[in-house]
């Protein structure tokens, strides 16, 4: 398999492309259905990061309607089916990268502007307009536009109906160009946030390893530094409404304050930032100093225990943030590097195609919904396990048997009380 022109693809090669595209489209559709069903059926999944994945999955499904058509309309370029396929791909295919930028913007707003869950939710209309509204303008314009010879912009794009090879400039200007700009902006946000986390963790580790008390007093004993790091349980999100303050001098260096499945990110600020005001780790005293061991009724012991717990929390949060960023960028790069290389090769060689690159593009582009479902499940693993347990037939029968309340034989038992407490705690954490 080597270098060929568009018209030189054999019937077997076209059939192979068709099989690849449709198989990957089905996997992606199944992933989208999983996201939509779990998000709509359980409040445990309705975290800010998952809300964005939910919105992205709607676009993924519509894009997969186009990819599952595959090469069926390449011989009927003036048909309604060809134009519909091209419109769906132009509008919804790049939207996944735009939603990833929305996630990064949430991270930025939570890190540096202290947006809480409600303010982040208010941003969703802007995200919807940006991810679906703006791309709809060229998608609709190309639907009706023709050149001087009466030929449509939408036509044969080798893999499917889309912007024809005669309009490579439009492909770059309205599709690949915006996607790569968005990828670079998203990367810069995550790099900045990750660098902030790394710097704070180094400072906190240094203090943790020292033999100093986790709390110092003002004056001769030292000055309480006002620099803090706030661990956020959600990716860009709910944490702002219930921040976990962590003092540098309290030796805190870790944390996802709720669970590992609320994977990203951590929110931090420095003294020079006005975004996050100082918060007290322990109840303030009138003169602004922190009570010492002899005057606080065991406060240093309690603070030390709390410090160790916060160290663990901030570590988990930083790890979860890194995992979230790595997963999303891996998915983006897997999707867009082969397809961009394929189009760049076609432009550089005046419409010729490299068949291996063509197959790779046919494989990765329809899979966006599948990758999103994998990331969604990883970030909500605890909620997924609870949801699967609740969906088991035996579980469904058990639930239907206690419609009127907990059975008398179980309600007063220690096991029943512990189980109820565990479930209440789990639901509270996921929310």
Distance set, CA 394 to CA 107, 275, 385, 388, 398 (Å): 40, 50, 15, 12, 6
Q: Are 325 and 187 in contact (CB under 8 A)?
A: no
Element (H, E) at 231: strand 228-231
Q: Count of alpha carbons within 13 Å of 412, Cβ hemisphere only?
A: 2
- Rounded CA separation 285/217 (Å): 11
**Number of domains into which the chain is organized:** 1
Decide if 171 is inside a domain: yes
Q: Are 267 and 240 in contact (CB under 8 A)?
A: yes
How would residue 231 be classed by pLDDT, with cut points 50, 70 and 90? very low
Q: Are 320 and 260 in contact (CB under 8 A)?
A: yes
Decide if 159 is inside a domain: yes
Q: Count of alpha carbons within 13 Å of 144, Cβ hemisphere only?
A: 5
159: left (phi over 0), alpha (psi -120 to 50) or beta: alpha
**Predicted confidence (pLDDT) per residue in 264-309, tens digit:** 444 444 434 444 444 333 344 444 444 444 444 555 555 566 766 6
- Rounded CA separation 63/87 (Å): 9
Of 112, 36, 17, 34, give the one whose Cα is nearest residue 363: 17
How would residue 179 be classed by pLDDT, with cut points 50, 70 and 90? very high
* pLDDT score of 4 more than 70: no
Q: How many residues does the chain have?
A: 431
Decide if 20 is inside a domain: yes
Please state the rounded mean pLDDT for residues 353-374. Answer: 93
Find the angle CA(324)-CA(90)-CA(165) to the nearest 5 degrees.
120
Confidence at residue 280, expressed as pLDDT on a 0 to 100 scale: 37
Decide if 342 is inside a domain: yes
Confidence at residue 422, expressed as pLDDT on a 0 to 100 scale: 46
Q: Domain range for residue 347? A: 3-185+338-388
Confidence at residue 82, expressed as pLDDT on a 0 to 100 scale: 96
Contacts of 124 (CB under 8 A, 6+ apart): 51, 52, 55
Confidence at residue 377, expressed as pLDDT on a 0 to 100 scale: 92
* pLDDT score of 217 more than 50: no
- When mean pLDDT is compared over 106-115, 308-317, 363-372, 385-394, the highest value belongs to 363-372
Decide if 112 is inside a domain: yes
* pLDDT score of 39 more than 90: yes
Which of residues 424 and 73 earns the better pLDDT score? Answer: 73
Decide if 361 is inside a domain: yes
Please state the rounded mean pLDDT for residues 79-105. Answer: 94
Give residue for tokens 């291996």: 356
> pTM for the full model?
0.70
* pLDDT score of 215 more than 70: no
Which of residues 333 and 426 earns the better pLDDT score? Answer: 333
- Rounded CA separation 338/343 (Å): 9
Find the angle CA(367)-CA(373)-CA(378) to the nearest 5 degrees.
130
How would residue 321 be classed by pLDDT, with cut points 50, 70 and 90? low
Decide if 209 is inside a domain: no
Decide if 227 is inside a domain: no
**Predicted confidence (pLDDT) per residue in 310-319, tens digit:** 666 666 665 6
CATH number for position 77: 1.20.1070.10
- Rounded CA separation 131/353 (Å): 30
- Rounded CA separation 48/415 (Å): 34
Give residue for tokens 């198989």: 23
Q: What one-character-per-residue DSSP string does 315-327 give?
A: HHHHHHHHHHHHH
Confidence at residue 305, expressed as pLDDT on a 0 to 100 scale: 64
Which of residues 86 and 431 earns the better pLDDT score? Answer: 86
Q: For a pLDDT cut of 90, what percent of the chain falls above it?
A: 39
- Rounded CA separation 86/156 (Å): 9
How would residue 389 be classed by pLDDT, with cut points 50, 70 and 90? confident
Among the listed ranges 287-291, 340-344, 380-384, which one has the minimum average pLDDT value? 287-291
Confidence at residue 271, expressed as pLDDT on a 0 to 100 scale: 39
Distance set, CA 77 to CA 72, 87, 137 (Å): 10, 13, 21
Element (H, E) at 230: strand 228-231
- Residue 289 is given by DSSP the state P
- The structure tokens listed for 185 are 């902006």
Strand spans (E) along 289-387: 352-354
> Parallel, antiparallel, or unpaired for β 244-247 and 228-231?
antiparallel
């Amino acid at each position: 398999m080597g270098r060929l022109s568009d018209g030189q693809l054999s019937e077997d090669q076209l059939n192979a492309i068709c099989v690849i595209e449709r198989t990957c489209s089905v996997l992606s559709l199944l992933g989208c259905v999983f996201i939509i069903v779990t998000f709509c059926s359980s409040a445990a999944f309705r975290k800010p990061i998952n809300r964005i994945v939910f919105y992205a999955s709607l676009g993924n499904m519509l894009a997969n309607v186009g990819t599952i058509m595959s090469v069926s309309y390449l011989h009927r370029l003036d048909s309604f089916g060809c134009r519909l396929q091209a419109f769906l791909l132009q509008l919804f295919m790049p939207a996944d990268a735009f939603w990833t930028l929305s996630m990064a913007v949430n991270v930025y707003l939570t890190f540096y502007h202290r947006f809480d869950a409600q303010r982040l939710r208010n941003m969703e209309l802007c995200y919807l307009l940006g991810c679906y509204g703006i791309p709809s303008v060229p998608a609709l314009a190309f639907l009706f536009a023709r050149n001087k010879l009466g030929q449509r912009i939408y036509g044969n794009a080798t893999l499917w109906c889309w912007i024809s090879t005669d309009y490579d400039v439009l492909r770059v200007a309205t599709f690949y160009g915006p996607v790569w700009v968005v990828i670079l902006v998203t990367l810069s946000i995550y790099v900045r946030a990750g660098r902030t986390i790394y710097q704070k963790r180094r400072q906190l580790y240094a203090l943790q390893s020292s033999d100093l008390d986790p709390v110092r007093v003002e004056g001769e004993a030292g000055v309480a530094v006002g620099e803090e790091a706030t661990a956020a349980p959600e990716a860009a999100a709910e944490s702002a409404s219930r921040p976990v303050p962590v003092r540098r001098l309290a030796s805190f260096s870790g944390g996802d304050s709720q669970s590992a499945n609320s994977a990203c990110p951590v929110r931090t600020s420095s003294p020079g930032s006005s975004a996050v005001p100082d918060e007290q780790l322990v109840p303030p005293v009138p003169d602004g100093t922190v009570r010492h061991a002899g005057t606080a009724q065991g406060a240093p012991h309690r603070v030390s225990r709390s410090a160790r717990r916060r160290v663990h929390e901030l570590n988990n949060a930083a790890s979860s943030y890194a995992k979230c960023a790595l997963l999303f960028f891996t998915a983006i790069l897997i999707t867009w590097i082969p397809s961009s290389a394929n189009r760049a090769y076609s432009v550089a060689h005046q419409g010729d195609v490299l068949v291996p690159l063509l197959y790779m593009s046919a494989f990765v582009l329809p899979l966006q919904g599948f990758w999103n479902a994998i990331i969604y499940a990883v970030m909500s693993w605890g909620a997924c396990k609870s949801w699967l347990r609740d969906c088991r037939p035996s579980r469904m029968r058990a639930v239907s048997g206690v419609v009127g309340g907990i059975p008398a034989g179980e309600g007063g038992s220690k096991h029943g009380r512990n189980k109820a407490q565990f479930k209440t705690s789990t639901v509270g954490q996921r929310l």
